[in-house]
């Protein structure tokens, strides 16, 4: 119970700009962990929809790491399963082959199954997903049927992302209604209706992306310190990283790349120039890049 009480705070610390989503998924995860749901179904089944780079995959990673550990997340990119024959790849081709999913379930006795970009999977997969979500089991080419009751099922999609991006000044309820309407037009209604929660992720405003930048910088600084590079980032350097990473349509992914690349490149340049990769990170305005000074003095 103590660990469950800390779940919401943990998720809010690491996922910014999606408070409405967290308000709904945290109770659902608590119900799952306390075994309050239907014992014949998965612990929880979720559809995460919204613009790219808003934290859909990251949320699945975060709650799985917190509840089970990182090795208990099994991910499938459904853009790789667009052909009818790819069903065999997932479930097996004959009695001797359990498929990729069967092999994964044999080594993971609980956790989260993450299926990214559900709208890109072949139509035959929708019958499979309906069986998994509603009946809580899956049958492989070997003939074996495995229960999915120890797992959370997460499906992500960019369906409705265009609507969400256009509705910048609409209310959250209005955005959610428009996105879910598009989802129901694209996916089979009987599948959509079976998810425990259909969660719409909002586009990330400039202010939220700035918060994310500060969080990513702090995380990268801690990581680099563990490698022996002790850094302190100036306000000017932080503003530079915000400008370099901000993207109105791609969310937090460009910000993560900008933070990691610019800080790591600054360490590389400092090591080549002086052999010292720690110190005060400032902005080299003439070259529009970050520089490290061995002195901690801001002067």
Instruction: Read off the pLDDT of each residue in 55-69 and give the average, rounded to a whole number.
Output: 96
- Residue in the structure block whose two tokens are 């359990």: 98
3-state SS of 260-283 is HHHHHHHHHHHHHHHCCCCEEEEE
Q: Hey, where are the domains in the chain?
A: 2-200, 206-293
The β-bridge relationship of strands 44-49 and 197-200 is parallel
Tell me the mean pLDDT in the region 242-253.
89
pLDDT at 48 over 90: yes
Residue 249 — very low, low, confident or very high, per pLDDT cuts 50/70/90? confident
Q: How far apart are the first and last CA of the chain?
A: 50
Given a contact cutoff of 8 angstroms between Cβ atoms, the answer to whether 20 and 46 are in contact is no
Q: Strand ranges (DSSP E) for 67-170?
A: 73-77, 111-116, 137-139, 145-147, 151-157
pLDDT tens figures, 275-292: 888 899 999 877 889 999
Phi, psi of 181 (to 5 degrees): -65, -40
How far is the C-alpha of 85 from the C-alpha of 92, rounded, in Å? 10
Q: How far apart are CA 285 and CA 207, in angstroms?
A: 24
Summarised one tens digit per residue, pLDDT across range 98-121 is: 999 999 998 888 999 999 999 999
Q: Give CATH for domain 206-293.
A: 1.10.8.60
CA atoms within 13 A on the CB side of 131: 12
Contact between residue 130 and residue 90 where contact means Cβ atoms under 8 Å apart: no
pLDDT (tens digit per residue) in 19-42: 999 999 999 999 999 999 899 999
Model confidence at 298, pLDDT cuts 50, 70, 90, reads very low
Residue 296 has pLDDT above 60, yes or no: no
Query: Which residue is it, tokens 């990214």?
Result: 116
Is the CB of residue 59 less than 8 Å from the CB of residue 153? no
pLDDT bracket for residue 295 (50, 70, 90): low
Q: Smallest Cα–Cα separation from 26: which of 199, 164, 176? A: 199
Distance CA 23, CA 153 (A): 18
Percentage with pLDDT > 70 across the chain: 97
Q: Has domain 2-200 been given CATH number 3.40.50.1110?
A: no
Indicate the pLDDT class of residue 299, thresholds 50, 70 and 90.
very low
pLDDT at 126: 87
Residue 114 DSSP label? E
Q: Which two tokens stand for residue 93?
A: 């081709």
Parallel, antiparallel, or unpaired for β 151-157 and 197-200?
A: unpaired
- What is the number of alpha carbons within 13 Å of residue 136 lying toward its C-beta? 15
Q: What is the pLDDT of residues 129-177, one digit of tens each?
A: 999 999 999 999 999 999 999 999 999 999 888 777 776 667 778 888 8
């Amino acid at each position: 119970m103590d660990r469950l009480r800390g779940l919401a705070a943990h998720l809010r610390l690491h996922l910014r700009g999606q408070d409405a989503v967290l308000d709904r998924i945290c109770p659902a995860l608590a119900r799952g962990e306390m075994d309050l749901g239907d014992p014949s179904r998965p612990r929880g089944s979720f559809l995460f929809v919204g613009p790219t780079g808003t934290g859909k995959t990251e949320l699945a990673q975060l709650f799985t790491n917190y509840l089970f550990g990182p090795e208990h997340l099994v991910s499938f990119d459904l853009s790789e399963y667009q052909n009818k024959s790819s069903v065999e790849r997932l479930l097996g081709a004959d009695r001797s082959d359990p498929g990729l999913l069967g092999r994964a379930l044999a080594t993971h006795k609980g956790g989260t199954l993450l299926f990214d970009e559900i709208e890109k999977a072949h139509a035959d997969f929708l019958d499979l997903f309906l069986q998994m979500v509603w009946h809580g089991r899956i049958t492989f080419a070997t003939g074996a049927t495995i229960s999915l009751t120890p797992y959370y099922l997460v499906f992500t999609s960019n369906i409705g992302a265009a609507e969400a991006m256009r509705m910048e000044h609409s209310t959250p309820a209005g955005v959610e209604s428009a996105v879910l309407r598009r989802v129901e037009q694209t996916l089979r209604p009987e599948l959509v209706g079976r998810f425990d929660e259909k969660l719409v992720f909002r586009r990330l405003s400039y202010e939220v992306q700035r918060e994310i930048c500060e969080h990513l910088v702090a995380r990268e600084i801690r990581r680099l310190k563990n490698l022996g590079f002790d850094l302190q980032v100036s306000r000017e350097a932080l503003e530079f990283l915000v400008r370099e990473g901000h993207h109105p349509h791609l969310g937090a992914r460009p910000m993560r790349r900008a933070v990691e690349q610019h800080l790591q490149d600054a360490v590389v340049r400092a090591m080549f120039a002086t052999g010292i990769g720690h110190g005060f990170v400032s902005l080299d305005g003439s070259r529009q890049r970050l520089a490290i000074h061995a002195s901690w003095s801001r002067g």
